[in-house]
Structure 1
Amino acid sequence: MSDLRVMHDENGTKGRYTVVHSTGESVLTYELVPEKRLVAEHTQVARGYEGDEIGLLMLRELIADARNRGLQITSLCPFVSAQLRVHPEWADVFSA
């Protein structure tokens, strides 16, 4: 997994983290909203890469970027919400 590169694109209020694989793309999407928040909307891992922690890799990038930008994360994504329950150390960057 160390050779995987997470790319980040942001256009206006929409953004995404992407990992390109031989079988397709894995993507975590979000939206920037007022009050210095971003909303994690959806995570999709490319077929054949489920269980390889690709979603977690993209989520860690999202969390690092949110902290660097002074933003709070709100999750609409079931994967992101589940990971927050597993990683309570991330609570400082998440809001209800």
Structure 2
Amino acid sequence: MKTEVKQEVNDKNGFFYITIDNQPEAKMTFVFAGLDKIIIDHTEVNEGHNGKGFGQMMVEQAVAFARKKNIKIIPLCPFVKKVFDKTPVYGDVL
């Protein structure tokens, strides 16, 4: 069983998602807010995969993306907000 975090991005929005054996099992969506910010607005994990850390994996990928692109994250999604509140090391991208 191969688990991967992937990303799709265009000029206006994008999403991070997790596949298991090439099947999408979790997704976290965002929209660009200007040139230097993204708003993460929704996270979902398919039934049967709750509690496996998929949401956390996607947040880590979003933080890495923000750091690489030198942009900030606005965590509108309640789950992502909670992760940011519990993880002070992500403060540089807020």
The count of aligned residue pairs is 93
CA-CA distance at 1:21 after TM superposition: 3.8
In structure 2, C-alpha distance between the alignment counterparts of 1:71 and 1:36, rounded to whole Å: 5
Q: Is the 8 A contact 1:24 1:47 kept in 2?
A: no
Q: Structure 1 length normalisation: TM-score? A: 0.88
Q: Is the 8 A contact 1:21 1:46 kept in 2?
A: no
CA-CA distance at 1:15 after TM superposition: 0.4
In structure 1, the residue matched to 2:6 is: 7
Alignment of 1:1-96 (within 5 A): 3-21=2-20, 25-94=25-94
In structure 2, C-alpha distance between the alignment counterparts of 1:84 and 1:6, rounded to whole Å: 19
The root-mean-square deviation of aligned C-alpha atoms, in Å, is: 1.8
CA-CA distance at 1:33 after TM superposition: 1.3
* Dislocated runs of 4+, deviation >2 Å: 20-25
Q: Structure 2 length normalisation: TM-score? A: 0.90
Describe the superposition over 1:52-92 as per-residue Cα deviations: whole angstroms up to 9, x where unpaired.
00000011000001000000000110000000111011111
Percentage of identical aligned residues: 27
Describe the superposition over 1:25-47 as per-residue Cα deviations: whole angstroms up to 9, x where unpaired.
20000011115000011000111
Structure 1: give runs of 5+ residues left out of the alignment: none
Structure 2: give runs of 5+ residues left out of the alignment: none
In structure 1, C-alpha distance between the alignment counterparts of 2:38 and 2:24, rounded to whole Å: 26
Stretch of structure 1 that moved more, 7-16 or 23-32: 23-32
Stretch of structure 1 that moved more, 19-28 or 44-53: 19-28
